[in-house]
Amino acid sequence: MTNEDISKIKELLEGKKKIVIVPHKGPDGDAMGSTLALKILLEGLGHYVNLIAPNDYPNFLKWMPYEKETLLYDRDTEKCEKIIAEADVIFTLDFNHLSRAGDMYKPLQEATAAFVMIDHHQQPDDYADVTYSDVTMCSTCQMVYHFIENIGLAQKITPQIATCLYTGIMTDTGSFRYRSTTSLTHRVIADLIEKGADNTSIHENVFDTSSYGQLQLLGCALQNLRVVEGLRTAYITLSQEELDRHNFKKGDTEGFVNYGLSLEGIVFAAIFIENEAEKIVKISFRSKGTFSVNEFARRYFEGGGHTNAAGGKSDLSLQETVERFISILPTYKTNLAL
């Protein structure tokens, strides 16, 4: 953060303010961890704070401190629109473009509040009055930690805030293994443990709470895993029928895409998940090394993200989407073939 950003933030937070905090649609551990941590901090300073998520978040996050106070825009639209319209300051966390807030895009665009963006995704948009963007950061949670440090409030990090930030750093780094995990990340994590984050119970709450159906769905996904010969690519499909058969709930497929990358020699993995209600196929991409799934998702599947983790969607059928994907791959022969 620049000194100018820091003074602007201090100015925005003078007195008691009406504050709204927003994660991206389909909030993940980093989105919920960073927004909850900021909410707890700002409420502790005496501000009036609402965390409004565009839609619901997965069950494996439904133990986090104060998560029950989260408002869901798709369930409580009118109330949320009123709160957004009356806000003095709106923090948008873990996304780089207002369209990532889904249908909340419109009320956010019409809001008169000052905007603060804290985010680590590539190609950030310029809608905010203060943009704290750093694409080298492993997670928005680590950025919120530095944000709190920068505005001189590190001593206000409670065990609850530490727990939220630890959770998001852990989930966005694949439990501290991705390249974006630095020695600084580990120093931040060490400090969060000292400030009260209980690492063992956080890991158990997130990873050891699978339902039977969820593990059966993983079995189904692994049965559907295919390798594209000669292009070091693997992909998984899940149809709506397969999801229904295993009693699918939001978040149940989290991490499935990584199994493709765990195959020896594979550097590009995808999962295609049919969503009949939204009439789309939701896609997650992962890569190892320099092949940019951010570029790939932006160019072909209306998405984006990071170099090694991105998402997108397709309006074609599941089968047509996969056929299109396979037909695009040879374009990247120089990157993907050995």
- Chain residues that interact with ligand 5GP, rule: CB under 6 A: 24, 100, 121, 284, 303-306, 309-313
Neighbours of 264 (CB within 10 A): 4
Give the strand pairing for 280-287 and 268-275. Answer: antiparallel
Q: Of the two residues 195 and 306, which places its CB atom closer to ligand 5GP in the complex?
A: 306
Question: In DSSP terms, which residues pair with 89 in a beta bridge?
Answer: 19, 114
Q: Which residues pair with 226 in a beta bridge?
A: 235
DSSP reduced 3-state for 164 = helix
Q: Which residue is nearest to ligand 5GP (CB)?
A: 311
Given a contact cutoff of 8 angstroms between Cβ atoms, the answer to whether 227 and 263 are in contact is yes
Residue 144: name the closest of 251, 53, 7, 40 by CA: 40
Minimum CB distance to Mn ion, residue 94 (Å): 5
- Shortest distance, position 252 Cβ to ligand 5GP, whole Å: 13
Pick 121 or 246: Cβ nearer ligand 5GP: 121
Nearer to Mn ion, 140 or 163 (CB): 140
Contacts of 202 (CB under 8 A, 6+ apart): 163, 166, 167, 170
- Which of residues 167 and 314 has its CB atom nearest to Mn ion in the complex? 167
Beta strands 226-228 and 233-238 are antiparallel
What, of ligand 5GP, Mn ion, none, does residue 274 touch, CB below 5 to 8 Å by kind? none
Closest CA to 272 of 284, 256, 255, 288: 284
User: Cβ–Cβ contacts within 10 Å for residue 52, how many?
Assistant: 25
In the complex, the smallest distance separating the C-beta of residue 26 from ligand 5GP, rounded to whole angstroms, is 7
Task: Tell me how far, at minimum, the Cβ of 310 lies from ligand 5GP, in Å.
Answer: 4
Q: Cα torsion at 289, 292, 294, 298 (round to 10°)?
A: -160
The smaller minimum CB distance to Mn ion, of residues 97 and 246, is found at 97
The option from ligand 5GP, Mn ion, none interacting with 310 (CB < 5 to 8 A, set by class) reads ligand 5GP
Query: Whose Cβ is closer to ligand 5GP: residue 231's or residue 309's?
Result: 309
For 227, the enclosing helix (H) or strand (E) is: strand 226-228
Of Mn ion, ligand 5GP, none, which one does residue 304 interact with (CB within 5 to 8 Å by kind)? ligand 5GP
From Mn ion, ligand 5GP, none, which one binds at residue 309 (CB under 5 to 8 Å depending on kind)?
Answer: ligand 5GP
**Which CB sits closer to ligand 5GP, 232 or 313?**
313
Q: How far apart are CA 217 and CA 246, in angstroms?
A: 6
- List residues binding Mn ion (CB under 5 A): 30, 94, 140, 172
Smallest separation (angstroms) from ligand 5GP to the CB of 303? 4
Q: Which does 284 bind (CB under 5 to 8 A by kind): ligand 5GP, Mn ion, none?
A: ligand 5GP
Q: How far does the chain reach from its first CA to its final CA, in angstroms? A: 41
CB 322 to Mn ion: min, Å: 27
Which contiguous run of DSSP H or E holds residue 270?
Answer: strand 268-275
Least CB distance to ligand 5GP at residue 140 (A): 9
Nearest residue to Mn ion, by Cβ distance, number only: 30
